[in-house]
Structure 1
Amino acid sequence: MKVLGMISGTSHDGIDVAVVDFAAHDGVLHGTVLHAASTPYPDELRDRLMSALPPESLTLAEACALDTLIGEAFARAAADAIDRAGGADLICSHGQTVYHWTEGRRVLGTLQFGQPAWIAERTGVPVVADVRIRDIAAGGQGAPLVALMDTMLLADLPGRPAALNLGGIANMTVLRPAAGAPIAYDTGPANALIDAAAIRATGGRLRFDMDGALAAAGTVHPALLGRLLAEPYYALAAPKTTGKELFHAEYLDKMLGDHPGISDVDVAATVTALTAETVAAEVRRYGVDTLVASGGGCANPTLMAMLAERLVGVRLTTSAEFGAPTETKEAIAFALIGWQTAHGLPGNAPSCTGAEGGRILGAIVPGAGPLRLPQPLAAPPAALRLSGARQ
């Protein structure tokens, strides 16, 4: 079954797609990645989206417009991916998260833009969408949903491995904590504050720290780093989730208000160190011996070097070693969730999200013809093996 997974993450920079041909044999799900790519949002759309995100306010008129415009952008990206992959049987679209409603460790709701009807209409293929809310309704965090893929993809690794995604927010899946079942949670910001520092330093000319150059030119400011590390979120127990509702440009400006006069490059170095410090603390907490990284942060050599410096003795690698390109791993994860939904299988990992149990995720928008799904499987595959990734 060919499934197209789609997502725009917390960096809000574009749409990641992956078409995966899945087949289950003897308890193992084999996936051939037929196509994987990233499509940037048009500048005007990204500017409108960024202007609507917290802590900014949003009118219902603009919410409606963005839901449509992002849906149309996803539809174009889907049509292109399907053409390049030679077809698809199902699409799973995460859409674009614009708000994740949290109070402490409790999640009360979530909102993703990118109306899936536009995708179904453009491609004629059924679309699984709105995948987070069922986990939340069952008492979960609705995140990190990538934990299902992490536990399957790394199932054969010995010891105490973990997966790390460095998007706007960093999340980690620990496969074998001492307490037993896998756990997953957001450790804190990954690129969210690094991007904010780059925009601040360049007056908007750069939207991210290209090649980690700003941070590499600066020096970590100990007092500012200490202030950032005092954020109460880090002390919350897992499972927990966060986002740009908390870690945004105004948050950074507030922290800098207590430490005036720090150079732009030192700010960039310090927030990059913040990501490395908070991730490393969680790796040490759970005695992780292999850390498999993915996400846009893997392209930042300064961040990766800071992380390696803090994790002496830990094997640091990337998801590409396991067949999942670092930039599009989450798109593959949502292709997997779509496959699970189509086969009547849970798409969440309850011990990771905190849900009361496994749940079949999403709502399905039919394609051009009658909706025909495969026969449900009696048991989910225990492992995932990927091959064939190409751009």
Structure 2
Amino acid sequence: MNKNLATLYHIAEQDTRVIIGLMSGTSLDGLDIALTKIQGSGSNTRLELLAFESLEYSSAFRDEIRSVFSKETVYTEMLCAMNAKIGIAHAELVNKTLKKWKLKPEQINLIASHGQTVFHAPLGSPPPEGFTNSTLQIGDGDHIAMNTRIITISDFRQKHVAAGGEGAPLVIYGDYLLFGHSTENRVLLNIGGISNLTFLPAGRQVAGVFATDVGSGNTLMNQYMQAALSKPFDKDGELAADGEVNVALLAALFKHPFFEKVSPKTTGPELFNLSYLEGAQLQSGTTDLGNADVMATLSMFTARCIADTILQLSENYGELSLYVSGGGYLNKTLMNNLKTLLPGVAIDNTSVLGMNPEAKEAVLFALLANETVAGSPIEFPETSGAPAVCFGKVSFPD
């Protein structure tokens, strides 16, 4: 047997695995690195978050990613080069973090790398004639494996698309295994660049479980702050708090077929971007709106995207508990908007469930890698939008 396959087989046979999860989202702010210890698999999974780091990209590196990110036209040479460069950069960040944690590569069984999404084209965004829905994440796994000397599992979303899914969201698999509850109807909400949620009905049964994108998260707010004020984001939602929600602009932002679709559904910055905002401002006659009022409206837009879906769930299932993760939970104005829109819903962040809300997505990719090597596909109902597959491509360090 090939020695790499023998090593992977040995890892799969172990009762406990040490896996690093890597996540870089559409906010393009940096790389989340989660060190996990995972025992068992499937319904017997026990996961412990041992350490977590969130490392910012340099502004130059962020600009290089933006040159190929969510655009109709890119230079293929640059796209090809960034596939390798992101992989190498992520490997360097992992190596730097391992030194900080005083760990050697041989103490890590696997790296689970989400990669950097550069384009997401779900079924709701009609592809060119003769093509199907698709998604693309770059940051080559072979470069990560070669530069860290750790077996790497990457490119998770392609299998989801190949099996008939939309490529997103993938959190349903980990959320179901880690956070289901016997008596509580739970909503696990992640507010990253895009907002997505997983609904877990009480009883830990797969029937009724589903995950869906609900609309914009931080992406429109961040893009506007960068374009208008040369700031990466609105810290604590301070600028939004100083403004007033413009009702006409808010209504125009919701005039898109995405909001008429039934969940589960998916979207991305290919839809929710500055062009989308500019179109809504033209339509509503609000092109002269001040920065604070624009940000207040965008914050309420994100909150409404989330609340509308949760209110529908509440109508069908009654009392819900909402647990929030992702960078958006740090935005005080956004969270206050959510609490105003959802007065009957208990809202907290995932720390009360024992999960660092900033680390959750990176952790869940570590869990997906664990299922790929040691578990088996989870059979969710067709209405969940979650095909029963194992995810990722395996890259060996030699």
After TM superposition, is the score higher than 0.5?
A: yes
SS of the residue corresponding to residue 245 of structure 2 reads: coil
Within-5 A mapping of 1:50-89: 50-55=66-71, 57-83=73-99, 84=101, 86=103, 87-89=107-109
The separation in 2 between residues aligned to 1:233 and 1:351, in whole angstroms, is 20
- Quote the residue 1:320 is aligned against: 351
C-alpha distance 239-323 of structure 1, shift in aligned 2 (>3 A): same
- SS of the residue corresponding to residue 181 of structure 2 reads coil
Distance in structure 2 (CA, Å) of the matches to 1:128 and 1:308: 38
Residue of structure 1 in register with 2:259 after alignment: 234
Q: Which residue of 2 aligns with 1:196?
A: 223
Letter in 1 for 2:73: S
More helix by share: 2
Could you list the structure 1 runs, at least 4 aligned residues long, displaced by more than 6 angstroms after superposition. Answer: none
Q: Paired residue for 2:113?
A: 93
Contact 1:105–1:236 (Cα < 8 Å) also in 2 = no
Q: Is the 8 A contact 2:307 2:338 kept in 1?
A: yes
Mapped to 2, the partners of 1:153 and 1:6 lie a distance apart of 18
Check 1:85–1:251 CA distance in 2 against 1; reply closer, same or farther (3 A cut).
farther
Which residue does 1:265 correspond to in 2?
Answer: 292
Match of 1:164 in 2: 189
Query: Counterpart of 1:38 in 2: which secondary structure?
Result: strand
- Give me the identity figure in percent: 34
State the shift of 1:286 in Å.
0.6
Task: Name the counterpart of 1:248.
Answer: 273
TM-score, structure 2 normalization: 0.87
Equivalent residues of 2:122, 2:167 under 8 A apart: no
Q: Which runs of 5+ in 1 are unaligned?
A: 369-391
Equivalent residue for 1:379? none
Residue 25 of structure 1, CA deviation = 8.6
Q: Is the 8 A contact 2:246 2:294 kept in 1?
A: yes
**Does 2:164 align with 1:139?**
yes
1:274 to 291, 301, 326: 301
Q: CA deviation at 1:352?
A: 6.9
Query: 1:14 maps to which residue?
Result: 30
Unaligned 5+ segments in structure 2 are 1-16, 127-131
Could you tell me how far 1:257 is from its partner in structure 2? 2.1
**Contact (CA 8 Å) 1:55, 1:245: kept in 2 or not?**
yes
Partner of 1:366 in structure 2?
396
Cα distance in 2 for partners of 1:38, 1:97 equals: 18
Partner of 1:302: 333
TM-score, normalised via structure 1 length: 0.88
1:289 aligned partner: 320
How far residue 347 of structure 1 moved from its aligned partner, in angstroms, is 7.1
Higher relative contact order (CA 8 A, sep 6+): 1
RMSD: 2.2
From the superposition, tell whether residues 26 and 143 of structure 1 become closer, same or farther in structure 2 (CA, over 3 Å). Answer: closer
Matched, 1:337 2:353: no
Aligned length: 365
Cα shift at 1:135:
1.3
